[in-house]
Amino acid sequence: MGKRLKIHLVIIDPQNDFCDIPRAMLPVPGADADMKQTAQLVRRIGRKLDDIHVTLDSHRLIDVGHAAMWMDQNGEVPKPFTIISEADIRAGIWTTRDPGHRARMVAYANALEARPGHYKICIWPTHCLIGTWGHNVHPDLNEALQEWSGREFAMVDYVTKGSNPWTEHYGALMAEVPDPTDASTALNTDFLNMLAGADIVAVAGEASSHCVLKTVEQIADNIGDEHIKKFHLLKDCMSPVGALPGIDFPQIAQEFLVNMQRRGMTVATSTDFLN
């Protein structure tokens, strides 16, 4: 008899604030359906799963990606989806509400823009604040996760990210620019090693243009080529942020799936996975 395969499911940021449901602060079109589909998957293959990892975007009100950090020359905070560049900060178009943080944010923007493939600072609607409804897991998926935990006598592995207000933290493995004073922003080797120990890893979550993209890229860049082929990206359980002027996030998400497939990952649907 062959050995039993170790199968893991990674669900990235399946939180209320990212779902296109009432009260959500940063709804991703299609996310509600994605999470319901993911819940169905958990119920269908739950007995085959050795582990479920759920990442949680976990922010404070004062955050580099929230308006509360910034103001213009008139003391007004930026509107959602404002892009702030290093040049903008140096020119005084945007500055930190506390002048003492300005130099730090200039250095951060410089480091961010110097790294290929990284977005500039984006002001998002205030979202996934710790302790709020928006931080909670989508209700249908949460119900499926609790059922799985009780039935299998297993604990869901919750991985938090984004609590450091000085750096954006799209990917679950590390922040966009790690803070040398905060180990939680550096490469999460424990999480990476858990995934390396699995035989098959399915990935779902939001959004395919941002946190899914960054998490999967970080995994692919750090886990070793011999492990990449074990990953299955469930395209019907993830959706991109809608396009903004000058930034086609749906196209970026599509290119991401193509690139990961070229690197050896499988792009599948939840209904086909382990069917």
The answer to the question of residue 141 being in a domain is yes
How far apart, in whole angstroms, are the C-alpha atoms of residue 79 and residue 76?
Answer: 9
Closest C-alpha to 64, from 212, 181, 206, 176 = 176
**CATH code for the domain of 28:** 3.40.50.850
* Residue 77, domain extent: 67-122
Contact 173, 219 (CB under 8 A): yes
For residue 2, is pLDDT > 60? Answer: no
Reported as a single tens digit per residue, the pLDDT across 35-94 is 999 999 999 999 999 999 999 999 999 999 999 999 999 999 999 999 999 999 999 999
Mean pLDDT, the chain, whole residue set: 96
Indicate if the pLDDT at residue 1 is higher than 50. no
Tally of domains in the chain: 2
Would you state the pLDDT for residue 245?
Answer: 84
Same domain, yes or no, for 13 and 113?
A: no
Do 138 and 226 have their domain in common?
yes
Residue 150 corresponds to which tokens in the numbers above? 């009780």
* Band of residue 3 on the pLDDT scale cut at 50, 70, 90: low
pLDDT digits (tens, 9 = 90+) for 102-123: 999 999 999 999 987 777 999 9
Q: What is the mean pLDDT of residues 141-155?
A: 98
- pLDDT tier, 180 (very low <50, low <70, confident <90, very high otherwise): very high
Are 32 and 74 found together in one domain? no
Residue 94 near residue 152 (C-beta atoms within 8 A): no
Residues 35 and 111 in one domain: no
Helices (H), 114-231: 139-152, 189-196, 211-222, 225-228
The secondary structure of residue 27, as a DSSP letter, is P
Last residue of a domain, one of 99, 122, 145: 122
pTM attached to this predicted model: 0.96
